[in-house]
């Protein structure tokens, strides 16, 4: 009897998923948590989990739904009331028509992103994204077997451009993933650039997936949602979330807007991998969207003030250049003026000052010499963290001058 040939224990796409170059960066966050558990006070600015509680009116709506028995199997695409609330919300936000039948509810925007990549890309396909990028993008692209094409955006204002996308196109290109306002930089793709990207995707018959979860955390002015162009191009998808606007990260509620033929396929994926989200949570989100609590606007204003605090505290720090955000809950810091490695700097900051930031490599090669600071602490605490950043930078500059 012949020996059976060696069979791989796991499929190649899963091995690609686990070979994450940002693992060292996430290991640093784990180290910070371990320090906390050991009793050391650590200023945790590494992840984007709001320090605000979910507004009470949202929690009360969930309790009312629980008491009303809203605990049975849900509608897979999302409850009728919630889909209607999401559609109305995006009609107001984008100024463009949106029908409840164009809405699919998921267990968070991350789940929506994963399901969308499963539906739109596969082995041999390419997905174009900006670098720097949200840290989970490589994983969701690898999980569907596609290849990621990350375009360096340092010379284009830290956002994608139609010209950059056009230069990167290959016959394998299938999806453009646009994150605006962006994580980690908080940069908004200008409206005229969005229009050029939409037109390019229309001509090339590419899917354009717009991750707009920070669109309602603009510091000033309104937001140009890609959804306003969905009548021009029938391969536009928009991802939304309750997590940051309403401080509902743990509730795991998100959604996407998509053309009806894609909704049919997303519903099939949701049936296979999710089977809907809890009805009592959906009711709470519908309430939040229909009657937004005052706390949501207060949080938006506070993030803007916190960003200004950080930018002022790091102003004129030699070798450090904050990337000025226009939205969101992060400030990224470019260390290239010092030729510093972001991971080494973050490790020194944690060890010497007990301040945890995320090394930039977690978000792509273009931010290797950088950091991301999460605006998830009161302004005085953020000012203290920035003073610690300046101290570490000063020590490194002195050591480099003496070398």
Contact indicator for 353, 388 with CB cutoff of 8 Å: yes
Report the pLDDT value the prediction gives residue 169, as an integer from 0 to 100: 98
- Closest alpha carbon to 47 in 144, 135, 165: 135
Q: How far apart are the C-alpha atoms of 399 and 403, rounded to whole Å?
A: 6
Q: Are residues 267 and 175 in the same domain?
A: yes
Assess if residue 300 is contained within a domain.
Answer: yes
Residue after which a domain boundary falls, among 274, 290, 306: 290
Question: Residue 379 is part of which domain span?
Answer: 12-52+295-402
Q: Are residues 244 and 358 in the same domain?
A: no
Report the pLDDT value the prediction gives residue 20, as an integer from 0 to 100: 63
Residue after which a domain boundary falls, among 275, 290, 305: 290
Q: Are residues 274 and 314 in the same domain?
A: no
Which residues share a beta bridge with 373? Answer: 331
Assess if residue 219 is contained within a domain.
Answer: yes
Report the pLDDT value the prediction gives residue 316, as an integer from 0 to 100: 87
Report the pLDDT value the prediction gives residue 235, as an integer from 0 to 100: 98
Q: Are residues 172 and 311 in the same domain?
A: no
Q: Are residues 193 and 45 in the same domain?
A: no
Q: Are residues 247 and 336 in the same domain?
A: no
Q: Are residues 208 and 112 in the same domain?
A: yes
Q: Are residues 130 and 38 in the same domain?
A: no
Total residues found in the chain within this entry: 403
Q: How far apart are the C-alpha atoms of 316 and 319, rounded to whole Å?
A: 9
Structure tokens at 36: 């906390």
- Mean pLDDT per 10-residue interval, the chain, length 403 residues: 73 73 73 93 94 97 97 96 97 93 97 97 96 94 94 96 98 98 97 97 98 96 93 96 95 97 97 95 97 96 98 90 96 85 93 96 93 97 97 82 65
Assess if residue 80 is contained within a domain.
Answer: yes
Report the pLDDT value the prediction gives residue 74, as an integer from 0 to 100: 95
Contact indicator for 210, 203 with CB cutoff of 8 Å: no
User: The CATH number of the domain where 367 resides is what?
Assistant: 3.90.1150.10
Taking the CA atoms of 117, 330, 293 and 225 in sequence, report the sign of the dihedral they define: negative
Assess if residue 386 is contained within a domain.
Answer: yes
Task: Output the DSSP codes for 162-225.
Answer: HHHHHHH--TTEEEEEEESS-TTT-PPPPHHHHHHHHHHHHHHT-EEEEE-TTTT-BSSS----
Within a 10 A sphere around the Cβ of 20, how many other Cβ atoms? 16
Contact indicator for 240, 37 with CB cutoff of 8 Å: no
* Chain centroid, CA 154 distance in Å: 19
Q: Are residues 44 and 115 in the same domain?
A: no
Which residues share a beta bridge with 374? Answer: 330
Assess if residue 4 is contained within a domain.
Answer: no
Report the pLDDT value the prediction gives residue 179, as an integer from 0 to 100: 98
The number of folded domains in the chain is: 2
Report the pLDDT value the prediction gives residue 187, as an integer from 0 to 100: 97
Assess if residue 317 is contained within a domain.
Answer: yes
Q: Are residues 121 and 262 in the same domain?
A: yes
Q: How far apart are the C-alpha atoms of 187 and 137, rounded to whole Å?
A: 17
Q: Are residues 312 and 365 in the same domain?
A: yes
Report the pLDDT value the prediction gives residue 63, as an integer from 0 to 100: 97
Structure tokens at 48: 């984007």
Assess if residue 5 is contained within a domain.
Answer: no
Q: How far apart are the C-alpha atoms of 47 and 385, rounded to whole Å?
A: 15
Is 131 strand, coil or helix?
Answer: strand
Residue after which a domain boundary falls, among 270, 290, 310: 290
Is 397 strand, coil or helix?
Answer: helix
């Amino acid at each position: 009897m012949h020996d059976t040939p060696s069979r791989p224990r796991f499929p190649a796409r899963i091995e690609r998923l686990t070979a994450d170059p940002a693992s060292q960066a996430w290991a640093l966050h784990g180290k910070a948590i371990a320090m906390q558990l050991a009793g050391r006070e650590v200023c945790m600015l590494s992840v984007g989990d709001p320090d605000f509680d979910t507004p009470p009116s949202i929690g009360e709506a969930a309790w009312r739904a629980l008491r009303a028995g809203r605990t049975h199997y849900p509608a897979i695409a999302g409850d009728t009331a919630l889909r209607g609330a999401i559609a109305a919300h995006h009609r107001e936000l984008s100024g463009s028509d949106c029908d409840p039948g164009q809405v699919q509810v998921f267990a968070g925007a991350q789940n929506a992103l994963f399901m969308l990549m499963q539906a739109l890309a596969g082995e041999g396909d390419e997905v174009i994204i900006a670098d720097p990028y949200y840290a989970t993008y490589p994983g969701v692209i690898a999980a569907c077997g596609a290849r990621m094409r990350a375009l360096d955006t340092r010379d284009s204002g830290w956002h994608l451009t139609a010209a950059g996308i056009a230069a990167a196109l290959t016959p394998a290109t299938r999806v453009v993933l646009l994150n605006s306002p962006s994580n980690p930089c908080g940069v908004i793709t200008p409206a005229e650039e969005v229009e050029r990207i939409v037109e390019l995707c229309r001509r090339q018959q590419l899917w354009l997936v717009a991750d707009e979860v920070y669109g309602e955390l603009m510091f000033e002015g309104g937001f140009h949602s890609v959804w306003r162009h969905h009548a021009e191009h029938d391969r536009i998808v928009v991802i939304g979330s309750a997590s940051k606007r309403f401080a509902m990260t743990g509730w795991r509620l998100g959604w996407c807007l998509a053309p009806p033929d894609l909704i049919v396929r997303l519903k099939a994926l949701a049936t296979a991998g999710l089977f809907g989200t809890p009805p009592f949570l959906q009711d709470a989100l519908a309430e939040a969207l229909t009657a937004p609590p005052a706390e949501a606007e207060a949080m938006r204003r506070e993030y803007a003030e916190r960003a200004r605090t950080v930018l002022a505290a790091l102003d004129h720090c030699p070798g450090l250049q904050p990337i000025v955000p226009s939205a969101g809950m992060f400030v990224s810091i470019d260390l290239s003026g010092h030729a510093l490695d972001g991971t080494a700097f973050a490790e020194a900051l944690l060890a010497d000052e007990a301040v945890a930031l995320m090394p930039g490599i977690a978000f792509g090669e273009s931010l290797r010499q950088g950091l991301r600071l999460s605006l998830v602490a009161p302004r005085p605490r953020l000012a203290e963290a920035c003073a610690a950043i300046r101290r570490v930078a000063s020590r490194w500059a002195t050591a480099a001058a003496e070398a």
